[in-house]
Amino acid sequence: VHIAIKGKRKSIDWNGIDVGTATMSDSWNLINGTTADIYTYTNADEVELLINGKSLGRVKNNTADSKQRNRILWKNVKYEPGKIEARAYNASSAKPVATHKIETTGKAKKLIATADNSNWKADGTDLQHIRVAAVDNAGRQNMEENSLLEFSVEGPAEIIGVINGDMKSPEMTVGTSRSLYNGTATVILRSTPEAGNVTLKVTPKGNIKGTTIKLNTL
C-alpha cells in the first residue's frame, strides 16, 4: 500500500499535444485549513486511512473496475499536521498486511548523499549514482526544498549526468548543477581507468548545509 497526495495538474506539451497529468506527492506539508484528495494504491482487499491515529474508515479495493482497481480515492481530506497512515487488509486477515506512513516535516536544514554502487570498478565505464536529499533536523526528507545544487568532484571520476525526475525542468541533464525536485536530485559519476579515492562535494544555493561524500574505485 502506498499513499499519494494529489497535487495540481502539470501541463506538458509533446508535439503540440498536452499530455500532462496531476502531480502526486509523498509530502504531508500542506496549508492549514485546506483539504486534499488522496490516493491509496494497493493490491490488498481494502484500505483504512488514519490521520494522527483517527480512522477515516475502510474502503474496499474495487477490483471489478479496470479504471479503479488497486487505486482508492479519498476526496477532500482535511489537512492536519502530523502523521497520515494507510493500512491494507485482506479479507482473510484481521491484521494489516501492509502499511505506509508519511508525516509533516520541518524545514530543510542539510543535505545527505547516498551512493548506490559499493563495488565501483575503475574501468573507465562503471557508473556511480549518488542521490542527494534535503532533510530536516530529524533526518526526514523535505519535499518542498528546491535549492540549486552545485557539484564538484576530485579524484579518478567525472560527472556525466545530473537529474532530478522533473519532466518539465528546463535544466540540462549534463553539467555540474541541478535543482532539487521534491527535495532530491541525483548526480551520476563515471570512473576512469585509474583506481583511487573520489570525493564529491555538493554545495546548495540556499540556507541549507551542503555535504561531502568520499568514495573509492577498485
pLDDT of residue 168: 81
**How would DSSP label each residue in 153-187?**
EESSEEEEEEE-S-TT--S-SSSSEEE-BTTEEEE
CA distance 135 to 132: 10
CATH class, 110-217 region: mainly beta
Burial 179-201, CB ≥16 within 10 A → b, else e: bbbbbbbbbbbbbbeebeebebe
Given this chain, do its domains 2-103 and 110-217 carry the same CATH topology?
yes
Q: Any idea where the domains of the chain sit in the sequence? A: 2-103, 110-217
Per-residue pLDDT of the chain (218 residues; tens, 9 = 90+): 999 999 876 666 677 776 666 788 889 999 999 999 999 999 999 999 999 999 999 999 999 999 899 999 999 999 999 999 999 999 988 899 999 999 999 999 999 999 999 999 999 999 999 999 999 999 999 999 999 999 999 999 999 999 999 888 899 999 999 999 999 999 999 999 999 999 999 999 988 999 999 999 99
CA distance 98 to 47: 9
CATH superfamily entry for domain 2-103: Immunoglobulins (2.60.40.10)
pLDDT of residue 7: 81
Q: How many CB atoms lie within 10 A of CB 41?
A: 17
Backbone angles phi, psi at 79, to 5 degrees: -75, 130
pLDDT of residue 23: 80
pLDDT of residue 11: 65
Is the whole-model pTM more than 0.85?
no
